[in-house]
Structure 1
Amino acid sequence: MTRDDPRIEAYFSKSGRWQSELQALRSLLSETPLVEDFKWRSPCYTFDGANVATIWAMKEACGLSFFKGVLLKDPAGILTAPGDNSRSVRLFRFSSLEQLAPHRDTLKGYVLEAIGLEKAGAKVTFEKDDLAYPAELVDRLDADTALREAFEALTPGRRRGYLLHFTEPKQPATRTARIDRHADRILAGKGMHDR
């Protein structure tokens, strides 16, 4: 089922490098009980309101990612973490219809398994986050109680996103600039990518 959102059709009707591959993924997902929605500038597929999968067009490939992919069994070994800091999401990445075709039935099975996980209420449990707060953030939170309370009230994933972003630069001035740039978003209770 597709929600009545013009952004979905606009996404699939625009010309681009991966349009045939994205249409093939859409076709596969339409054969499942997932609902097609639009989030994070691309189609997102949900079950009973829970995010299950999303499709992506990237520079070098396109892919189908599973929000709780780490819980999928993946006997075919086709899912990978999309990045070094990915803890839950797993991605099937491909760059042609020929690469997708032999995995179509496997991916459909993974979608059905992911739906089963949602029905069962499965949760991804994370080990305690070992990310240290950079000194610049510690100083800023010590000086601004409202910012400290807002940062601590963020979901663990949003805090982690900010910490990864804030600790990435080597220069203290760049870390401070990033903290300054995102302070209003933190005070508003938003993550880095929230609108």
Structure 2
Amino acid sequence: MNKKVTEYINSKEKWAQELQVLRSILLKLPLEEAIKWSAPAYLYKGKNILGIAAFKNYFGLWFHQGVFLKDEAKVLMNAQEGKTKAMRQWRFESLADLNEELVKQYVLEAIDNEEKGLSIKPKRNTKPVVIPKELQDALDNNQKLKDQFEAFSLSKKREYAEHIASAKREATKQNRLQKIIPMILDGKGLHDKYKNC
């Protein structure tokens, strides 16, 4: 049992008991428990199989490659129709909704699908990063800032560039620029505070 998963479950005012029951089912299966994306994750041979989480009106699990599950009981849903390709959710509104044998059946099928290599890989964003003039001027005038920015991944560079470019008014662009300069100098991505797992 992963200590951080225990902390996650215990931190939930609502659904803690339900998550513990769901967790106890998953721990009976050949899965490794971890925290990923700030939530409990369950892996098989190092590969993401599913995760569990609590939300305002439900608790549930999601299968990373759920699109390949037969879903004979018709319990899975695509949380973002048209956007999410592989992931599928299974939502529960009470303990009464939780059928241990059915959960095990779906998880074992997901493990089997992983063994078969069934997966949809996310497409990487390959469009070039367009640096807005305001950010480019700041980079050109501060070598340390430029060095830190260049060390970022393409996605982090894109986040910063789009953050400045998306402002409509010049004053807003300048305000945003002044706020992000210390973050760049600290080597932090724009959204790192939300990725604290």
Regarding TM over 0.5, the answer is yes
Instruction: Give the Cα–Cα distance (whole angstroms) in 2 for the partners of residues 38 and 83 of structure 1.
Output: 23
Where does residue 73 of structure 1 map in the other structure?
70
Distance 1:56 1:139, change over 3 A: farther
Distance 1:15 1:194, change over 3 A: closer
User: In structure 1, the residue corresponding to 2:98 is in which secondary structure?
Assistant: helix
Question: Can you give the 5+ residue segments of structure 2 that lack an aligned partner in the other structure?
Answer: 140-145
Please report how far the alpha carbon of residue 95 of structure 1 lies from its aligned counterpart in structure 2 after TM superposition: 1.3
Residue 53 of structure 2, aligned match among 34, 56, 76: 56
Where does residue 28 of structure 1 map in the other structure?
25
Where does residue 88 of structure 2 map in the other structure?
90
Where does residue 193 of structure 1 map in the other structure?
195
Instruction: Give the Cα–Cα distance (whole angstroms) in 2 for the partners of residues 149 and 26 of structure 1.
Output: 39
Q: Output the amino acid matched with 2:111.
A: I
Contact 2:61-2:90 at 8 Å conserved across structures = yes
User: In structure 1, the residue corresponding to 2:4 is in which secondary structure?
Assistant: helix
Distance 1:15 1:124, change over 3 A: closer
- Asked if residue 18 in structure 1 is aligned to residue 15 in structure 2, the reply is yes
Report the TM-score when normalising by structure 1: 0.66
Alignment of 1:1-195 (within 5 A): 2=1, 5-14=2-11, 16-83=13-80, 85-101=83-99, 104-126=100-122, 147=149, 150-152=152-154, 154=155, 162=159, 171=168, 173=172, 177=176, 180=180, 184-186=187-189, 193=195
Distance 1:10 1:71, change over 3 A: same
Larger Rg belongs to:
2
Instruction: Give the Cα–Cα distance (whole angstroms) in 1 for the partners of residues 34 and 122 of structure 2.
Output: 27
Question: Can you give the 5+ residue segments of structure 1 that lack an aligned partner in the other structure?
Answer: none
Q: Output the amino acid matched with 1:120.
A: K
Structure with the bigger RCO (C-alpha within 8 Å, sep 6+) is 2
How many correspondences in the alignment?
179
- The one-character-per-residue Cα deviations of 1:72-111 (angstroms, maximum 9, x if unpaired) are 222222112233543332111111012223xx33322221
Contact 2:38-2:196 at 8 Å conserved across structures = no
- The one-character-per-residue Cα deviations of 1:47-82 (angstroms, maximum 9, x if unpaired) are 111111111011111111111222222222211223
RMSD: 4.0
Instruction: Give the Cα–Cα distance (whole angstroms) in 1 for the partners of residues 74 and 126 of structure 2.
Output: 28
Distance 1:171 1:140, change over 3 A: closer
Q: Output the amino acid matched with 2:60.
A: G
Instruction: Give the Cα–Cα distance (whole angstroms) in 1 for the partners of residues 94 and 128 of structure 2.
Output: 41
